[in-house]
Amino acid sequence: MSTEIIELTDVRKTYGTQVVLDDVSFAVNSGEIVGLIGPSGAGKSTIIKIALGMEVVDEGHATVFNKIMPQRQILGELGYMAQSDALYEQLSGRENLQFFAEMRGVKNISNEIDRVAKIVDLTSNLDKYTSGYSGGMKRRLSLAIAFLGNPKLLILDEPTVGIDPSLRRQIWHELQEMRDHGHTILVTTHVMDEAELVDRVALLLGGRLIANDSPKALEDAYHVDSIEEVFLMAEEKK
């Protein structure tokens, strides 16, 4: 039986007169990767903010690990990567990782830094100042920070933007390995071939959840060969 790690039930969220989420029911189960896709302004970032406890719902019900966010004690079980990098540029990559690891109460910090740096191919650049990193290196460091402590739940907002294809493949292999070991992953992406790699695709349009199934099931339902075509057809029918 699956365990719902993130659960939204009949959620409505507005900013002023703008309805951002309109009666959305959505769950992410233990041990699965869910890809959240949709155009800009569809409500993806709002779902992430609700899951992180950064926003509260206007109507409906939203929980993480069966608790209403924000809950400080849950934050140690979450790994989060935002669209924009929140790094200390006056510090080296290693010092950034050290700082965030200490904040999270990670044990065996030195070994953990080596582990996550290897995943994102930053080992040889760890002792350089972050201010000198390229945009892609900063994204990789932000992802390494999300991996610290091997969190039970990963929430990743456009994690592979600016990352080269070979490293992107390596990162997705790591995410699938984590999934196979019982971790739960919610990821947003605009890269449609990445959406083929998830267990379930949740498609948001105009604040409403209009599709929520495996990539293969959605492709069969829309009689197309890719999630990109599903996305385009769904937009046309909107």
Strands 59-64 and 78-81, sheet pairing? unpaired
24 and 139, same domain (yes or no) = no
Beta strand segments in 50-133, E? 59-64, 78-81
40 and 68, same domain (yes or no) = yes
Q: Is 162 a domain residue?
A: no
Looking at the DSSP assignment, which residues form a beta bridge with residue 186?
34, 155
Number of domains in the chain: 2
Q: How far apart are CA 142 and CA 83, in angstroms?
A: 9
Q: Is 198 a domain residue?
A: yes
Give the angle subtended at the CA of 137 by the CAs of 84 and 193, to the nearest 5°: 75
Q: What is the DSSP letter of 92?
A: B
91 and 67, same domain (yes or no) = no
Last residue of a domain, one of 130, 151, 172: 151
Q: Is 95 a domain residue?
A: yes
Give the angle subtended at the CA of 117 by the CAs of 54 and 46, to the nearest 5°: 20
Q: 89 is in which domain, residue-wise? A: 79-151
Q: What is the pLDDT along the chain (238 residues), one digit of tens a residue?
A: 458 999 999 999 999 999 999 999 999 999 999 999 988 888 999 999 999 989 999 999 999 999 988 777 787 789 999 888 889 999 999 999 999 999 888 999 999 999 999 999 999 999 999 999 999 899 999 999 999 999 999 999 988 888 888 888 989 999 999 999 999 999 998 888 889 999 999 999 999 999 999 999 999 999 999 999 998 888 777 6
6 and 69, same domain (yes or no) = yes
Q: How far apart are CA 159 and CA 146, in angstroms?
A: 10
- pTM of the predicted structure, to 2 decimals: 0.92
